[in-house]
Amino acid sequence: MLYLWDFGDGTQDTLPTPSHTFTTAGTYTVSLIATDSNKCNIADTAYLTISVLDVPVINLGADQKICKGQNVTLDAGNAGMSHLWSTGATTQSITVTDSSLYWVNVTNGPCTSSDTVSITLTEEITYTIPNVFTPNGDNINELFKLESPSEITEFSGLIFNRWGKKVFEWDNPVSGWNGMIENASAADGVYYYIITFKNQCGENEVHGTVTLMR
């Protein structure tokens, strides 16, 4: 028995049970001509229509941080296909306002793809600033610094003496002033500070006085 398969995409095969991969979505008419060389070359032809569907391609993008009161729209694309989100929504896109790991499944017939994205809610900056610090070497209250559990992306701290002269500055929110001025211990007394800091949700500037006591 001789076989001639025509897959309708410009390719053929002569195996009895071939395997074939279609590389482009579409509708194809597959034909098989079987010839019995032992019986006067009697031939028969069979036809089969195959629909090849696109596998959904999804890209929800990189993980994002949003501020309280903001929202972000997640779009899975693939219009006309079936969508199912972790929220239960079945639309192509959703708008979210809360921290969560969001996922979506997109189905096109028997073909399914999925993607996930993390949305994190960034709160406004909360902080405390001491009004006294004691840099005396006992490892207690040694630094004058901003205390904040919030993520800070930009920071500036300035210290002035009673005559308005800048005596110290720093730009790292996890550090602070250790009571030194140009490698010498600053005198006890009251100092003035200006601290500015921000994250994606806003900017703060605070100023006031701090007392240095050894």
Quote the pLDDT of residue 40: 67
Q: Where are the domains of the chain?
A: 2-52, 64-122, 132-212
Confidence grade of residue 105 (pLDDT, cut at 50, 70, 90):
very high
CATH superfamily for domain 2-52: Immunoglobulins (2.60.40.10)
- Higher-pLDDT residue of 116 and 53 is 116
Q: What is the layout of strands, in order, in the sheet containing 82-85? A: 64-67, 111-122, 100-108, 82-85
Q: Once rounded to an integer, what is the mean pLDDT over residues 49-72?
A: 91
Does 132-212 carry CATH code 3.40.50? no
Q: What are the structure tokens assigned to 180, written together? A: 């030194």
CATH superfamily for domain 64-122: Immunoglobulins (2.60.40.10)
Measured between alpha carbons, how far is 102 from 123 in angstroms, rounded to an integer? Answer: 20
- Higher-pLDDT residue of 92 and 38 is 92
Q: Once rounded to an integer, what is the mean pLDDT over residues 184-197?
A: 96
Confidence grade of residue 168 (pLDDT, cut at 50, 70, 90):
very high
Confidence grade of residue 39 (pLDDT, cut at 50, 70, 90):
low
Count how many residues are written for the chain.
214
pLDDT for residue 125 is more than 90: no
Burial profile 57-91: b = 16 or more Cβ within 10 angstroms, e = fewer: ebebeeeebbeeeeeeebbbbbeebebbbeeebee
CATH topology match: 64-122 vs 132-212: yes
User: 189 phi and psi, to 5 degrees?
Assistant: 150, -170
Each residue's pLDDT tens digit, 137-167 = 999 999 999 998 788 889 999 999 999 999 9
Q: Once rounded to an integer, what is the mean pLDDT over residues 45-63?
A: 90
Contacts of 149 (CB under 8 A, 6+ apart): 126
pLDDT for residue 192 is more than 80: yes
